[in-house]
Amino acid sequence: MTLSPEQTQAVASWVAAGDNLSAIQKKLFEQFKLSLTYMDVRFLVDDLNLSLKDAAPKASTDIGSAPQGSPDAGPGKKGFFEKAKEKLGLSKEPSEDDDLPPDGPADDIPAGGAVSVMVDKVTLIPNAMASGTVTFSDGVKGKWIVDNYGRPGLTEISQPGYRPTPGDAQSFMQELNVALQKRGL
């Protein structure tokens, strides 16, 4: 693909401004009606000898660095539990604006609540490597899945709009991990 000098200058200015490849792809379409794939934009930037700016510095990959998912791992590396905590809303620090559970502050909730996790013997859900049921300490029941990428999710909760307490969510993740390890997953 050959660009006009005006188009080449525009791409160079977008890269210099710190735009990423998807932003450049979008601008090429909006301003010049050029429909390029993401990979085409990547090759175009390379062909123009332009260097994209990194949005965040990459974590060190020294031999002595911490393994992925460990507490000492870099900020860009997340393990199974970190991703799950983020998905369940447990990764952020609590603030005054957060809604508290009806029983009071989260500090009153035992971390090892009576959460029970059952794993289905056969998973019939497409794109799921495991599924089962969960009963939280307050009696709310639901179904869970772990997709082929290892991401957990809750489905079919018995109480609409329900969000487990932080203690229950943490217990769920621990129980789920134990149950899946017993199954060899």
- Starting at the earlier edge strand, list the strands of the sheet with 152-155: 116-119, 128-135, 141-147, 152-155
pTM of the predicted model, to two decimals? 0.40
> For position 81, what pLDDT does the model report?
64
What are the structural domain ranges in the chain?
Answer: 5-47, 80-94+109-182
How far apart (Å, rounded) are the C-alpha atoms in residues 5 and 27?
16
> For position 93, what pLDDT does the model report?
53
Neighbouring residues of 65: CB distance < 8 A, sequence distance ≥ 6: 59, 73, 74
List, for residues 128-167, the tens digit of each pLDDT value. 888 899 898 888 898 888 888 888 888 888 888 888 888 8
How far apart (Å, rounded) are the C-alpha atoms in residues 81 and 69?
8
> For position 89, what pLDDT does the model report?
60
